[in-house]
Amino acid sequence: MASENPTTSEYIQHHLTNLTYGQLPDGSWGFAQSAQEAASMGFMSINVDSMGWSIAMGLVFLFVFSRAAGRATAGVPGGLQNFVEMIVDFIDDTTSSIFSHKNDLVAPMALTIFVWVWLMNLMDLVPVDWIPMLASAMGVHFMKVVPTTDPNITMSMAFSVFGLILYYSIKCKGAGGFLAELSFHPFPKILAPINFILEFVTLIAKPLSLGLRLFGNMYAGEMIFVLLAVMFSGGIAVNLLGGVLQWGWAVFHVVIITLQAFIFAVLTIVYLAQAHDVEEH
C-alpha cells in the first residue's frame, strides 16, 4: 500500500484499484503506481489482475468439468460427477424451458457462462486483505481478485453475447427481416423512424442489462466487504461486531453470487431465443 498506516480513504481506494498496465506519463510502458496514474492510461491499458483472475477461474472450470467427464461412470457416480451432472441438468432444463429452437451452442454456452461467472463471483468471499497483502509482500502494489467488479470484464462478456444476438438475428430473419423488426414494431409502418429509435434503444439495452447489472451488484458487494474490513481497525468490541457482520454478509452473498450468475445465463438464453424467433415475420 501507499503507506504503512493508511487512512480509511486510502485503504478503500487501494482495495478498489486495479493492477493496470499501460503507457506512463513519461511515454514508457509499465504498471500504474496510483489510481490516478491508472486512470490516465486511458483505453490502451489492461487491468492485469482482472484478466489474470478471470482466466484462472476459466481454467478451474475447464479442469473440474474435464476431470468429471474423464471419470464419468455408468455405475455409482462419485461426488464430483454428481455435482457436475446436477449443474449440467439444471442448466439444460432451464435452457429447454426457454429456448425452443434448434441450436447446439446455446446450452453449453449457458453452462459456461453460469459456472464461469459464479467462480469469478466466488472470489468475493475471499477475505479482502489476504491476497492483496500477499501481493504487496511480493512487490505488487494493487490486486483486485474479483473480475466481475471490473466493468471491462462484465461488458466484454456482454458484448460477446450481443455479437451472437446480432449474428443469429440476421441469420434467422435475414437482414431485411431484422431491419423490419426494428422499424415496423410496435407502431404502424408509417411511424418507422419512431419505431426504429425505440427498438434500437431496446436492442442496445440488452448488453447493458447483462454487463452493468452484474458489475453493479458485485461492485456493491465488494464495497460492503471493504467497508466492514475497516471496522477491524477499531477496538475489541468493534472487531467482534465487524466479524459477525462479515460472516453474515458472506452467507447472504453466497445467494447473491449464485443469483447473478444465473441471471446472466438466463438473460443470454432469453435474448438468443428472441434472436431466433421469426414467427412475427
Output the nine-digit C-alpha cell for 64: 473440474
Alpha carbon of 248 to those of 25, 208, 234, 235, 255: distances in Å?
Answer: 44, 31, 19, 20, 12
Catalytic residue from among 103, 169, 209, 233: 209
Confirm whether 213 is a catalytic residue: yes
Confirm whether 217 is a catalytic residue: yes
Catalytic residue from among 50, 195, 217, 239: 217
* Angle at CA of residue 51, ends 46 and 54, nearest 5°: 160
Type and span of the H or E element at 168: helix 151-183
Q: How far apart are CA 7 and CA 237, in angstroms?
A: 20
Confirm whether 71 is a catalytic residue: no
Full strand arrangement of the beta sheet holding 29-31: 29-31, 20-23, 45-47
- For the chain, the residue count is 281
Catalytic residue from among 40, 156, 183, 213: 213
| Residue 165: Cβ within 10 Å count | 19
Q: What residues are labeled active site?
A: 209, 213, 217
